[in-house]
Chains A and B, each alone.
Chain A
Amino acid sequence: MAHIHLPEGLPGILGPMAISPESTKALRELAEVLLRGPNTLTSAEREMIATYVSSQNDCCFCQLSHGAAAAEHLGGDYELIDRVKSNYASAEISEKLKALLAIAGKVQKGGKHVTPEDVERARKLGATDKEIHDTVLIAAAFCMFNRYVDGLGTWQPTDPRAYREMGQRMAHVGYVRPNWEEPVEAA
């Protein structure tokens, strides 16, 4: 049972989004520009940042749905996403992305945790100011989305297979689209 009355059958953020169309428009547009807008970071990289922060915040729905989106951007490499969540330092991702994930992890704890050394390390590995900015904002935004989803006690399927189709739609159709409220098929 969610903390408030939400439409049935809508997992995670889709329940609260359905009862609050005005805020949903801005939230969808924010996710779209952060994760799919033109950027020197790939959508897969940005979805990995979202997934990593969501796993640090222990938000089941966000880490599985954005993890699925990241994997679908990579042609279905779900194992890589699991390794990024469990120990990104040993995952097969670029050193630059590792440095950006370190910054994202600090933002998850709180903005003041980010140090000049964290930023220098990312910059030495080729990260631009815009990429560092976007990493901080994506991490911050998922500290919002995760709290929105868990703070209302939403229903969240725990089987990762339930998120595959959602991940495909997030990756390839995006966040600003009609029929957002369609329930996902149970796996």
Chain B
Amino acid sequence: MAHIHLPEGLPGIRGPLVFSPDTTQPLCDLVEVLLRAPNSLTMAEREMIATYVSAKNDCYYCQTCHGSAAAQHLGGAPQDYELIAQMKCNCEAASLSDKMKALLAIAGKVQKGGKHVTTEDVERARSHGATDKEIHDTVLIAAAFCMFNRYVDGLDTWQPQDAEFYGEVGKQTVALGYVARDWKQPLQTVSSNRAAPARP
């Protein structure tokens, strides 16, 4: 039972999104621009930052949905899901670029609190080629998921433990993004009637 009366059968953030339509548009616009708008960081990389922060915040729904979206952006093969699992448990040892590892380190600091980010963290990212905009976006994505995670867990939403469900969510995210979704609908299968997902 969630802390407040939410529409039934809608997992995670979908319940509060449907419950409170007036706040839904800016939230969806924000996640769309952060994770999918044109950017020198790929969609997969940005979804990984979201996933990493959500894992640190122990938000099951967000880390599983965004982890699945990240894996689907990479092609959706079992090894793509394996890479996301490795990144969550030890990002320094995962097969990621040095730049990405440095950005994840900044995201992890932001998760603890903004003041944890040091000049050295930023220098490390810069020395591996990160631009100011990429550092900005990493901080804002990490900060935004400190919001989304608290929204989802602070209302004690229903979060199913069903790998197949999250696999479909990831495919749907890649195909539809965050603003063209009908959050009231239980998951429709997207693979059958949509074009192949765009690669990052």
Contacts and interface: CB of A to CB of B under 8 A. Distances in A.
A153 to B, nearest CB: 7
Contacts of A33: 22-23, 26
Contacts, number: 153
Range, interface on chain A: 35 or more
A73 B85 CA distance: 48
Overall SS of chain A's interface? helix
A150 B26 contact: no
Contacts of B3: 114, 116, 119, 132
B3 to A, nearest CB: 5
B150 A4 contact: no
Interface in A136-186: 136-137, 139-141, 143-153
6 contacts: A23-B34, A136-B150, A137-B16, A140-B146, A140-B151, A152-B114
Contacts of B119: 3, 153
A107 B150 contact: yes
A30 interface: yes
A145 to B, nearest CB: 7
Interface residues of B, number: 49
Given A110-B150, A133-B16, A26 B29 contact: yes
Interface of B: 3-5, 16, 19-20, 22-23, 25-27, 29-30, 33-34, 37, 57-59, 106, 109-110, 113-115, 117, 119, 122, 132-133, 135-137, 139-140, 142-144, 146-156
A33 B143 CA distance: 19
Given A136-B150, A140-B151, A145-B143, A4 B136 contact: yes
